């Protein structure tokens, strides 16, 4: 019950902010009868109505994981964000090894296989992408191979 109500409230707030910023859209001298604002405002209003329905008539709660699992998921998200930032400056192999090992450990918690998975995926995928598919990837940081 509570989950749907919270979600409804959040979506209502998001929709309100969305409609408010839709009113801020600058009009252009090239104007048509509908304009830039109407469709986004319409979308926002539909979300607000649906959110109210959800707040009034929520579904039963889903099975949320334990708080420890949320922590694990947070680690996974941070890993992925770090991977996104590292891919360009550090080359493909090192960040992929680290990120794949962490994710692998999180799914099947054994250190050895996770490290092997990380190593295998980083080297294997690099060979696949670079040589079989011809994508322009760099294996190592640009400075290292000078």
Partner 1 sequence: METFTNLALGFSVALTPFTLMLAIIGCFLGTIIGALPGLGPSNGVAILIPITFTLGLDATSALVLMTSVYYGAMYGGRISSILLNIPGDEPALMTTLDGYPMAKQGKAADALVLSGVSSFVGAFLATIGLIILAPLLARVAYLFGPAEYFALYLLAFCTLGGMASNNQAKSAIAACLGLGIAMIGLDNTSGMPRFTYGNLHLMDGVDFLVAIVGLFAIAEVFFFIESHGKNTALGVRLERVTIPFKMIRNSFWTMIRSTFIGFFAGVLPGAGASLGSFMAYMAQKAVAKDPETYGKGNPRGVAAPEAGNNAAAGGALVPMLTLGVPGSGTTAVLLALLMTLNITPGPTLFADRPEVVWGLIASLLIANIVLLIMNVPLVKIFVYVLQVPPWVLLPGVTMISFVGIYSLSGSYFDLLLMVGFGVLGYFLRKLDIPTVPVILGILLGNQMEDSLRRAMVLSDGDWAFLFSTPIAIGLWIAAIGGFVAPMFLRKVLKKPQAITD
Q: Residues 125-144: x/- map of binding to partner 1 (CB under 8 A)?
A: x---x---xxxxx-------
What separation in angstroms does the CA of 32 have from each of 38, 44, 127?
Answer: 11, 21, 53
Pick the binder of partner 1 from 1, 20, 71, 81 (CB under 8 A).
81
By the rule CB under 8 A, 103 interacts with partner 1: yes
SS3 for 73-112 is HHHHHHHHHHHHHHHHHHCCHHHHHHHHHHHHHHHCCCHH
Under rule CB under 8 A, residue 94 binds partner 1 = no
What is the C-alpha separation between 51 and 44, in angstroms, rounded? 10
CA-based nearest residue to 50, from 3, 12, 14, 2: 12
Pair of tokens at residue 135 = 């994508």
Nearer to partner 1, 63 or 145 (CB): 63
Interface pick for partner 1 out of 36, 71, 111, 140 (rule CB under 8 A): 36
Residue with tokens 């060979």: 127
CB of 140 to partner 1, least distance (A): 16
Which of 65/140 has CB closer to partner 1? 65
The residue among 17 and 144 lying less far from partner 1, judged by its C-beta, is 17
Tokens (6 digits) for 81: 């964000």
Among 43, 94, 115, 123, binds partner 1 (CB under 8 A): 43
Q: Does 115 bind partner 1 (CB under 8 A)?
A: no
Q: Does 1 bind partner 1 (CB under 8 A)?
A: no
Is 119 near partner 1 (CB under 8 A)? Answer: no
């Amino acid at each position: 019950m509570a989950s749907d109500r919270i979600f409804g409230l959040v979506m209502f707030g998001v929709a309100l902010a969305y409609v408010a910023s839709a009113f801020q859209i600058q009009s252009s001298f090239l104007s048509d009868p509908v304009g830039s604002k109407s469709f986004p405002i319409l979308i926002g209003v539909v979300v607000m109505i649906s959110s109210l329905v959800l707040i009034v008539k929520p579904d039963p709660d889903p099975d949320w994981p334990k708080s420890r699992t949320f922590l694990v998921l947070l680690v996974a998200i941070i890993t992925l964000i770090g991977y996104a930032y590292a891919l360009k400056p550090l080359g493909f192999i090192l960040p992929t090894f680290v990120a794949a090992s962490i994710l692998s450990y999180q799914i099947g918690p054994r250190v050895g296989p996770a490290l092997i998975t990380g190593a295998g995926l980083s080297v294997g995928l690099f060979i696949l992408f670079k040589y079989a598919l011809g994508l322009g990837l760099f294996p190592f940081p640009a400075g290292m191979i000078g």
